[in-house]
Chains A and B, each alone.
Chain A
Amino acid sequence: MAEIKFEEALKKLEKIVEDLEKGDLSLDEALKKYQEGIELSRSCAQKLESAKKKIELLGKNKKGEFELKPLDEEKLEE
């Protein structure tokens, strides 16, 4: 839960809302979903405040496999 990305959390949240809006859940499920939804919406709000940017380079290693390397932004400043 801690590592969920914002958009993933928001998508999940939207799915939960859709499920609830369909309205064919048992009371138990509805409660569970609601609780989960509240947690997700909190985590979304938090993510908006505390997101870190992540920039990587995609290349291939000697074996020809894909490899992600972090990009040093300083290098871009020439």
Chain B
Amino acid sequence: MSSMSEHASDLFAQAESSKNAKRIYTVSQITQDIKLVLENTFGEIWVEGEVSNFSASAAGHLYFSLKDDLAILAGVMFARASKDVKFKIENGLKIVCCGRIAVYGPRSQYQIIIERLEPKGIGSLQLALEQLKQRLEKEGLFAQEHKKPIPYLPARIGVVTSLQGAAVKDILKVLDRRFRDVEIIIIPVKVQGEGAKEEIAQAIKDFNGFNHGLALADRIEVLIVGRGGGSIEDLWAFNEEVVARAIYASKIPVISAVGHERDWTIADLVADVRAATPSVAAELVIPKKEDLQEAVYDVGVRLRRAFLDNTGRFAEAIDDALHRLGLGTQHLCALSAGRLDTLVKKLALLNPIAQIQQYQLKIMDMARQASVRIDHFLAMKDSQFTKAVERLAGLSPLNILSRGYSITFRMSAEEIVRDATQVSIGEKIKTRLHQGYLISQVTEVDRDGGD
């Protein structure tokens, strides 16, 4: 250190002696001269280096040094300039700064006052994007587990885009081509330039607020947030943190649809689904009519099958029930029949008709027996009678006549002559023989005669 200062004073001494005017500066004067030399010599310069000792004041002024392997240069960026810096300055970052050299006398310091700065190697927007991406990723805004499923067949679709852009037309074209029974609700926003990011973020919040007051069935089920193609600067609003946070906070699932296939924005990373273009976004949520027809058909088939399965089950149950009922009935019938039989028998025993019948039978039996007896009796009587008649017949005088007897009647009086004195001599008598009559005249009467 001492040798170096000696060497320096030698040089100054030589310079002064050669100009032969010995001038002694005050500190202020020399500082003022240095300031003039430095500031006039360099003017606006570009310096590249690595950021170190970075700090930021509450007012937005940034203080840091630029360094390389051998030297270090203090720098400051005042708030009016730093507000335009898209990316975050941090230690170790290689940057290119545009500014001027300034000398700060009170501290014997020179530094660069930076007006603009760019990251070295890539564009500042790109760097800003990378930085925001890293930060939001660390916070979990892109986390897969936070992503909400996109509903199938949403009835209401919210769209956040500009009415002047291509996106809205593309979405409506898809609606025309596909299925129309979908309600599209648009909140028109600026999609680029001053205020775009705020409008986009607010529109996402508004859709969520609007939903809050609606019945479940009327709610907006999905949001499409996006715009048609443009330069990276045109799409920049969709890389802004405020938009990313609004998408992240949305209760309604968000489909991002920014620019073209090749454009990836932070909105795309936060969104629940990224669609390459607004048309693709619309196609994701507006189904094809044919697909729906097929779905309706399929569900109809399922309906019939499920119904048949159900009724089949019932049919089985009915069959089973009928079967069991049948068995039951049979069993019941058999049981009843048995019981009925017993009852009938019992009843029959108790029935007076049966008793009467029994008596009838008895009577009939008795009658029959009686009749048999009577018949027998009658038959017996009959034969007795016949015998009697025969005997009687034997007793008939006529039968006696056949044995040679005869009967004599008085002719005059028709009286049987049993006593000789009944007749007189000369009287005519009639004699009945077995065969025929005899008429005779009495010639003699013997009263005492006999055999």
Contact = CB atoms under 8 A, between A and B. Distances in A.
B309 interface: yes
Interface stretch (B232-240, B256-264, B290-298, B330-338): B290-298
Interface residues of B, number: 43
B187 A57 contact: yes
B184 A7 contact: no
A68 B211 CA distance: 12
Contact of A30 (B169, B182, B314): B314
B179 A17 contact: no
Contacts of A58: 158, 185-187, 206-207, 210
A30 B176 contact: no
A54 B184 contact: yes
12 contacts: A16-B303, A20-B306, A27-B310, A37-B307, A44-B292, A45-B293, A48-B179, A48-B292, A51-B181, A55-B185, A73-B172, A76-B172
A23 B313 contact: yes
A67 to B, nearest CB: 10
Contacts of A63: none
Nearest to A60: B206
Contacts, number: 123
A58 B211 CA distance: 11
B6 to A, nearest CB: 78
A51 B179 contact: yes
Interface of B: 153-155, 158, 163-164, 168-169, 172, 175-176, 179-188, 206-207, 209-210, 213, 217, 289, 292-293, 295-296, 299-300, 302-303, 306-307, 309-311, 313-314
Contacts of B311: 27, 30-31
Contacts of A5: 155, 181
Nearest to A6: B181
B286 to A, nearest CB: 10
B306 A57 contact: no
Interface string A12-53: 011011001101010100110110011001001101100111
B206 to A, nearest CB: 7
B11 to A, nearest CB: 74
A37 B300 CA distance: 8
A37 B303 contact: yes
Contacts of A11: 153
Contacts of B154: 7
Given A5-B155, A33-B307, A59-B187, 8 more contacts: A6-B155, A30-B311, A41-B303, A47-B181, A53-B184, A58-B210, A76-B168, A76-B169
Interface residues of A, number: 43
B299 A14 contact: yes
A20 B188 contact: no
For the complex of A and B, 6 pairs with smallest distance between CB atoms: A51-B181, A20-B306, A51-B180, A6-B181, A30-B310, A34-B307
Given A57-B185, A76-B163, A10 B306 contact: no
A14 B302 CA distance: 9
B307 A55 contact: no
Interface of A: 5-8, 10-11, 13-14, 16-17, 20-21, 23, 25, 27, 30-31, 33-34, 37-38, 41, 44-45, 47-48, 51-60, 66, 68, 71, 73, 75-76, 78
A25 B303 CA distance: 14
A58 B180 CA distance: 19
B220 to A, nearest CB: 9
Given A17-B306, A23-B309, A48-B292, A10 B299 contact: yes
Contacts of B206: 58, 60, 66
Contacts of B183: 54-56
A68 B185 contact: yes
Given A16-B303, A38-B303, A47-B181, A8 B210 contact: no
Given A56-B183, A56-B185, A66-B213, A8 B155 contact: yes
Contacts of A44: 292, 296
Contact of A52 (B180, B186, B188, B296): B180
A57 B153 contact: no
- Of the listed residues B182, B209, B303, the one surrounded by the most CB atoms of chain A closer than 10 A to its CB is B303
Contacts of A37: 300, 303, 307
Contacts of B292: 6, 10, 44, 48
